[in-house]
Structure 1
């Protein structure tokens, strides 16, 4: 586990508290501010962010870095802004104080995933987890644009978990044929989202 702290001026210090070794049993993290717990699968390192500014209906941020073969080899120096901590992580999940249904509807609308002629739904999974449920939805661009091909974003997979009070989601962008690295990341996301345990939906923030 890593810890990132910063002051109001946006000056950051990265302190290493402990790292997750390959082969170690997944660590369960409890976040009261997220009203949830989750397991950190091998291949990911949980980064604790202290003092992040929360806005809107966001309840908390959950940050990670890749380890092993997926580890980022180099990282640019972060800018001096209040969002510097994001530069020190590989991806972040935002737990929102909105239902899973509303969150999915917003994602689909924003990304245009179900707009006629844009993307086709090629697979859909739905299963229950403690205190909530998970969706894994894969979409493939019907007519990929040059920009989609250039960015290797022909396929999009939505990983979403939550209940009728809060939700968390992530979109993985890949090419039409997933690379080994893409598949490894997808397996990590699936494992992570499947491990969420949400508190009772009647819990208030």
Structure 2
């Protein structure tokens, strides 16, 4: 893994809402899985070695919240997963397929839309905001949802919706669903950091 030191200021909105700017100090190149990205303020990348991967997974990228005690290198799968707050997998799956697996339809001719919920679904989401953004040799789809129907467990946890992030191209992609909660002290800040991370992705490395 090659790290390029530099500074990038990422400002703007998480979908259509206002976000604080995220200044990042290090850009990380991952030629093994064809992506580079800027590590945003608020997250710290974990160095992963000897991680077990499913077939079709090109690499695993893990982050812990900044300031959280971590080891520089964690070899055992269970060890680093316990330290990580967020785990991303770059897979040999086209972007649109990865989005559909997370309930999002990404069409070149229209904004992202949610797949219809099953009639007997215990959770039903409605779309608050959605957008796509061009990335170097790729594309980003973001969607913020609101739960219009929630089971008791989601109500107790204060879970109100999701932030769906999918980046990639026709060859590979990385996707993550971040749950939004009014009872989590990190929900909003982590959502901002994850949005900044996905907006900084560059898929040129794999071409």
TM-score range, shorter chain: 0.7 to 0.9
- 1:89 paired with 2:84, answer yes
How far, CA to CA, are the matches of 2:86 and 2:161 in structure 1?
18
Separation in 1, partners of 2:183, 2:134: 27
Note closer, same or farther for the CA distance 1:41–1:82 as it changes in structure 2 (3 Å cut): closer
1:36 corresponds to 2:35? yes
| Bigger helix fraction | 1
Number of positions where the alignment pairs a residue of Structure 1 with one of Structure 2: 170
TM superposition score normalised by structure 2: 0.72
Structure (1/2) with the larger strand percentage = 2
Residue number among 124, 132, 143 corresponding to 1:126 in the alignment: 132
Distance 1:32 1:156, change over 3 A: same
Q: Which residue of 2 aligns with 1:15?
A: none
Partner of 2:201: 196
Contact 1:152 1:173 in 2 (8 A): no
Superposed counterparts of 1:53-202, under 5 Å: 53-67=52-66, 71-72=67-68, 82-108=77-103, 114-115=116-117, 118-175=124-181, 181-199=186-204
CA RMSD of aligned residues (A): 2.9
SS in 2 for 1:51: coil
Counterpart-to-counterpart distance in 1, 2:63 and 2:99: 22
Within 2, Cα distance between the matches of 1:138 and 1:155? 7
Q: Offset of 1:160 from its aligned partner?
A: 1.2
Q: Structure 2 regions of 5+ residues with no counterpart?
A: 1-21, 105-113
Give the TM-score of the pair, scaled to structure 1: 0.73
Indicate conservation of the 8 Å contact 2:161/2:180, yes or no. Answer: yes
Shift of 1:197: 0.3
Taking structure 1 as reference, are residues 46 and 127 closer, same or farther at Cα in structure 2, changes over 3 Å only? Answer: same
State the partner residue of 2:109.
none
Change (3 A) 1:113 1:119: farther
